[in-house]
A and B are shown apart, each in its own frame.
Chain A
Amino acid sequence: MDQMFFAAEVLLNGLMTGVMYALVALGFVLIFKASGVFNYAQGVLALFAALTLVGIQQGQVPFAHMINAMFGTHIEHFGWTVPSVLAILLTGAVMVLLAFLIEKLVLQHLIGQAPIILFMATIGLAYFLEGLGDVMWGADIKNLDVGLPQGISETIETATAEWFGYGFFIDRLDIWATLIAALLVAALVGFAQYTKQGRAMRAVADDHQAALSVGISLRFIWVMVWSIAGFVALVAGVMWGTKSGVQFSLSLIALKALPVLMLGGFTSIPGAIVGGLVIGVGEKLFEFFVGPMIGGATENWFAYVLALLFLVFRPQGLFGERIIERV
């Protein structure tokens, strides 16, 4: 009996990890849908957002190391801290500015180029942002705390212990992450379906010429899409940063988003969510049931093997529109 409950607990935890994967994958899907570009920099965008958030929150001086090295000064902090909500808003503004700069300095000059060129540009962008994050805010591991509750939820543990005689261990952060992700997804879907800008975004994704002819500015839409992707990256950065600290490895969660996208399809928002959940649950359950038989550590590769299988048998993913010839 306990074994069954334990499995159920693993399943729940898997679902919640899956939500976090889906969050990162969403950023990819948004940009891919609107511009046909696979944005390799999405993971670094999340890292950069988290670094900036911590930096602003703790009143760090941007480029402190560089300034100190050049002028022999010893400045580190402004000496104030910024409330979480304000810091999040400011970081959001930074992400919009970044989106604007990316459009202005990179994308604008590559209009009409093949998708592979744009893809290469985002690889460059990823390395640039990684370096910029380091130079601006320092390379040390930082703790991110924006007031999200963390730790085992005792309410759930005692309640389930009373009902089932088995206390479920669930991290409160995971619960919050799930709620926030659900809200974010609902907002994004509402935006794409019911607002003028959302309609314009879908139009641009479909046909550039036609979009121009009905009066849509491609530049505006691209800045908007990258801003949204930046915002999604911020949310993902906050969640993962709170969970495991803000450090370089944060950008590697983007790698986990790849199998999620292969499962869900590169062009489908529901696909990103379902794909995230399937991988989250799949890797946890696989580790739980099969792991002990083959010596464990299956979480590192399970997602990729699953993605490989999908590539062989259903390359467009579960919800994808067509075979992706563009990446």
Chain B
Amino acid sequence: MNQQTEITADGRQIGGTLMEMKNITLRFGGVEAIKNISFDIREGEIRAIIGPNGAGKSSMLNVISGFYVPQEGEVWFKGQRRGPMKPYQVARLGIARTFQNIALFDGMTVLDNIMTGRLNRMRAGFLSQALWWGAAEREEIENRERVERVIDFLEIQNIRKTPVGRLPYGLKKRVELARALAAEPQILLLDEPMAGMNVEEKEDMSRFVLDVNDEFGTTIALIEHDMGVVMDLSDRVVVMDYGRKIGDGTPDEVRNNQEVIDAYLGVAHD
């Protein structure tokens, strides 16, 4: 495994291993959703996990974000083994995520939704918050600055006061991304960010993902089943099929991997 810092062709810096999954196995009853999979995520890269429907991609993402606890295997983060953790504890480590089916707070405005991403960053005491004094005031200003930057960045200024429940699908996806970004995550997990989008929206989203990585230097792990989108976006790709890892490498390497081609195009059985 290469631990040296690399500079990519487009001038981004990719550092050492940030997260490593070692021999992960996840079972639901008798069904093995993930079978003994290992891979790593390096600092600053865009890492994609792809595979056909039911390959176990989302399960893998849920293992990373703590929503599932694997029966076997280890998760290493920043050189330390991560014990079994609740999802909220994982979030507090600096791992933010979005959901395939969008999980936003529908009753709150866009701004309030994004502000919840900052909850873990708020340290001011209770009284200080209630009285709006001292640390609380400084903190709120700091948090608002970050949130405003994210809002500008994702071009959602005009809907900031709109309750999320009223937004169309594409914008909701963007708000969810904004909330995750507001947390200044060390790793950003995107669960099918382009699912259900039309071509134009997909292009927008791809641009945002690239820009986030470029501008904030955020490490991104994303799941997609649309090969085309992923190949253009990512630095390295893990390919899963029926819970197994069948390929791992740069998009070009993966594209020419016979097993991957078979999984995607189907193969004639004797």
- Residues in A with CB closer than 8 Å to B65 are 213
Stretch at the interface among B35-43, B104-112, B211-219, B252-260: B104-112
Given contacts A200-B116, A214-B120, contact A207 B88 (CB under 8 A): no
Residues of A within 8 A of B183 (CB): 214-215
Question: Which residues from A are CB-within-8-Å of B67?
Answer: 209, 212
Complex contacts, B103 vs chain A, CB 8 Å: 207, 209-210, 213
- Which listed segment binds B: A66-74, A113-121, A189-197? A189-197
Task: Report yes or no: A215 in contact with B119, Cβ–Cβ below 8 A.
Answer: yes
Q: Contacts of B28 on A, CB cut-off 8 Å? A: none
Instruction: Chain B residues near A200: list those with CB within 8 A.
Output: 116, 119
Q: Which of B49-57, B89-97, B222-230 contacts A (4 or more CB under 8 A)?
A: B89-97
Partner of A210, one of B99, B126, B129, B132: B99
Bound form: Cα–Cα A190–B136 in Å: 14
B126 — which chain A residues lie within 8 A by C-beta?
Answer: 195, 197
**How many residues belonging to A are interface residues under a CB distance threshold of 8 Å?**
24
B82 to A: closest C-beta gap in Å: 15
Known: A202-B107, A202-B112, A212-B87. 5 other contacts (CB 8 A): A209-B103, A213-B91, A214-B119, A216-B116, A216-B119
Give the distance in Å from the alpha carbon of A280 to the alpha carbon of B188 in the complex.
Answer: 53
Q: Does B117 contact A (CB under 8 A)?
A: yes
Contact B116 A203 (CB under 8 A): yes
> 10 interchain pairs (CB within 8 A)?
A196-B124, A202-B107, A206-B105, A209-B99, A210-B103, A211-B116, A213-B91, A213-B99, A214-B117, A217-B86
Q: How many A-B residue pairs have CB under 8 A?
A: 81
A77 within 8 A of B: no
Alpha-carbon distance between A210 and B115 when the two chains are bound, in angstroms? 13
Within the complex, which residue of B105, B112, B129 is in contact with A195, where a contact is CB–CB below 8 Å? B129
| Distance A202 CA – B107 CA, assembled complex (angstroms) | 9
Asked if B120 and A215 make an inter-chain contact with CB atoms under 8 angstroms apart, the answer reads: yes
Given contacts A200-B116, A206-B108, contact A213 B96 (CB under 8 A): yes
Inter-chain contacts of A214 with B (CB < 8 A): 91, 96, 116-117, 119-120, 179, 183
- Most chain A CB within 10 A, of B67, B91, B179, is at B91
What is the chain A residue whose CB lies nearest that of B165? Answer: A206
A104 in contact (CB, < 8 A): no
A326, CB-defined interface residue at 8 Å: no
List the A side residues contacting B115 at CB < 8 Å: 199
A321 contacts chain B at the CB level, 8 A cutoff = yes
B134 to chain A, nearest CB (A): 14
Closest to B105 in A: A206
Known contacts A213-B96, A216-B88; A207 and B104 CB within 8 A of each other? yes
